[in-house]
Amino acid sequence: MSSLVEQAIAAQERAITAPAPLFVRACPGAGKTHVIVSRHLRGPAVALRHGRALLSFTRAAAAQMRRRCHRESRPEATAFPHYIGTLDAFIWDVLVEPHLPASAPLQLLDSWERVHAEVKLDRQVPLGAFTFQRDQQTGQEAIRQDLLSREHERLISGSTYPWDTWAKAAFAARAAQVEAGYVTGHESRLLALKYLGRGESVTGPLRSRFAEIVVDEAQDCSVTDLEILDQLRRMGIPLVVVADPDQMIYGWRDANPPRLRALEAELGQTVDLDGNWRSSATVCRLAATLRAGNRPPDSAVRSPLPEPPVILLPTEFPRGGMARHVPSRRPVVDVFLDHAANHSTDAADCLITAYRRGHLPARTRRPAGNATTMLAHAWWVVHSATADPDLLDAACQTSARLLLRYWYPDATLQGTMQARCAASGVEFHNIIRHAYAFLYALPEPHADWPKDVNPRLKSWPRPPQAAPRGVVGQLRGKPEKLNIAGATAGLYRVDNIHQVKGDEHPGVLLLVPDEDATTRWISGDPAEDELLRNWYVAVTRAQKLIAVGIRPDQLHALAEHLRTRQIPMLIG
């Protein structure tokens, strides 16, 4: 066993056995899930009803923790009094829902888009376009105007109403949704703080149930999340906080580096995991150029030999067009995949990523357009064999909306699909099964596709209480976009950086279209520049091959910078 492996294992063992409170600073590929689950399964025996909460920011990460418990033949470690889930779910399930008044039930939404909530003045803006944030010092809420998308900023700036009026209207629209029984994660956090402030009647049962709360990916916590964790700490529940501050990329969600550092200081004990079990030494060295503090690279514990160099691809980024490799005039993705093949990496094992989705190759996200366009897109998703679970879920819901509208023409069009199904007396899961089967049975979309869809819609087996009325709910119009090659050409993963955090791939292409990319990469401060931290996240997804598509006028200065850092590099 090499010394690097021994050191990495020893660091993991310290993180597994050190008593809480504890801060674990973990580099990419450090084996955080192994540490957290091992800590959970090997923890000391505790009194009856004392469990442990293992919290992360994604359902996939929580599911992986549960699978590992089952794989170790410890299914009881996933059951009450323990809790394994997302931080969002924990806040709702444990801190909010048990304390809601029976007379005012609420439903938690992942987004206001689920109920098509809008703010209406002289124009309509989705309620989800407004980012509500709470001031920790005053407890007052405000709306971050600087976080509006360009589209919604243009809409509002062209209005006859000033920003203050729009902000008041957004607060009123949200209040109306809460009155109707809906909240999102932000409102659930406000309720959690409210209930935690009630004292022993709330905090006592929590101390009884939980001997420890472990929070993974804590760098993604908002200031309000950290305030909730601090309240739990102050009421006597030991915390284990696992974080990599270099991967803090959710500034728009109010992630706050100084507040995370303050929490680390309050916990009083830190264990560093700087052994990277995922990436090659070359990838680790490149990543070190994108993080604060001029620290040495993480240790590549299982570095492959021989290692591919970093590949810099001179790339043209035409507005609204496909990124092209300048020397060959081919799509830069194709050139990258050729390099990947030369290093024994299949296209299916590759990731193409960028900060903004608009700089990526076409992907099977739901397009804007008429109902026929969206249903055609859904058809391509279910027939692609490469779509991720979120895309499949969205495709099934698109098909379910068509069935529901046709079968129950008088049913409300407002609210979530679950709420609309309940109003129609239909089981949500049943209609989703119908929706998938119906969609899969349709022929391939074409210009006159509704002529094929509507007869199938009329003949499809329907619930006994369904009552179609004429052509209400039938499909109309032509698909607006039939060039959906991206749905079937998805041999490789394509997503923006925020969506790939936590993933790993043998080969990664990072597209960097910024005109000041070299200046930021060489001279920027990652502690202050969130874009650099995004690039760091992208680079550290790679196991062995990393390529960067960059403008030709930016490439050579970056290449020279990498040479001075003695990082193997090839201009391709």
438: left (phi over 0), alpha (psi -120 to 50) or beta: alpha
**Residues in contact with 311: Cβ distance below 8 Å, sequence separation at least 6, in sequence order:** 336, 339, 545, 546, 547, 548, 569, 570, 571, 572
Note the helical H segments in 18-141.
32-42, 59-71, 87-90
Q: Whole-angstrom Cα distance, residue 166 to residue 119? A: 8
Q: Do the bridges between strand 505-512 and strand 569-571 make them parallel or antiparallel, or are there none, so unpaired?
A: unpaired
pLDDT at res. 252: 59
Same domain, 216 and 306: no
Same domain, 63 and 164: no
Residue 106 lies in a domain: no
Residue 79 lies in a domain: yes
pLDDT at res. 441: 92
What is the phi/psi pair of residue 443, to 5°?
-75, 170
How many C-beta neighbours within 10 Å does residue 220 have?
22
Of 485, 500, 522, the residue that ends a domain is 485
Same domain, 84 and 196: yes
Residue 171 lies in a domain: yes
Structure tokens at 366: 């739901």
Same domain, 516 and 529: yes
Same domain, 270 and 287: no
pLDDT at res. 303: 72
Residue 105 lies in a domain: no
Q: Whole-angstrom Cα distance, residue 23 to residue 20? A: 8
CA atoms within 13 A on the CB side of 347: 12
Long-range contacts of 417-421, Cβ-Cβ distance < 8 Å, separation of 24 or more: 419/107, 419/115
Work out how many domains the chain is built from and give that number.
4
CA atoms within 13 A on the CB side of 214: 27
Q: For the whole model, what pTM was predicted?
A: 0.74
Same domain, 499 and 357: yes
**Residues in contact with 285: Cβ distance below 8 Å, sequence separation at least 6, in sequence order:** 297, 565, 566, 567
Residue 406 lies in a domain: yes
Residue 102 lies in a domain: no
List the one residue out of 290, 321, 308 whose CA is nearest residue 350. Answer: 308
CA distances from 294 to 198, 278, 524 (A): 45, 21, 12
Of 464, 485, 506, the residue that ends a domain is 485
Q: What is the sign, positive or negative, of the torsion defined by CA atoms of 496, 502, 506, 512?
A: positive
Same domain, 327 and 472: no
List the one residue out of 360, 313, 359 whose CA is nearest residue 336. Answer: 313
Same domain, 438 and 465: yes
Residue 87 lies in a domain: yes
Long-range contacts of 167-173, Cβ-Cβ distance < 8 Å, separation of 24 or more: 167/130, 167/142, 167/143, 169/119, 169/120, 169/121, 170/119, 170/127, 170/130, 170/132, 170/143, 171/141, 171/143, 173/117, 173/118, 173/119, 173/120, 173/127
Same domain, 227 and 355: no
Same domain, 19 and 132: no
Same domain, 344 and 451: no
The type of residue at 14 is: R
Residue 104 lies in a domain: no
List the one residue out of 264, 266, 275 whose CA is nearest residue 34. Answer: 275
How many degrees, rounded to 5, is the angle at CA 469 between CA 463 and CA 473?
A: 80
Q: Whole-angstrom Cα distance, residue 82 to residue 60? A: 18
Domain residues for the domain of 559 are 281-363+490-571
Same domain, 465 and 377: yes
CATH number of the domain bearing residue 357: 3.40.50.300
Of 134, 159, 183, the residue that ends a domain is 183
Written as tens digits, the pLDDT of the chain (572 aa) is 678 899 999 999 999 999 999 999 999 999 999 999 999 998 755 555 589 999 998 888 999 999 999 999 999 999 999 999 999 999 999 999 999 998 888 999 999 999 999 999 999 999 999 999 998 888 899 999 988 988 899 999 999 999 999 999 999 999 999 999 999 999 999 999 999 999 898 999 999 999 999 999 999 999 899 999 999 999 999 999 999 999 988 765 667 778 889 999 999 999 999 999 999 999 999 999 999 888 999 999 987 678 999 999 999 998 877 899 999 998 899 899 999 999 999 888 899 999 988 888 764 444 556 788 888 888 888 876 555 666 778 888 889 989 988 998 888 776 777 888 888 888 888 888 889 999 989 998 888 899 999 999 999 998 888 889 888 889 888 876 544 444 434 468 888 998 888 889 999 999 999 999 999 999 999 988 999 999 999 999 999 999 999 999 999 999 999 999 999 999 98
Q: Whole-angstrom Cα distance, residue 62 to residue 85? A: 5
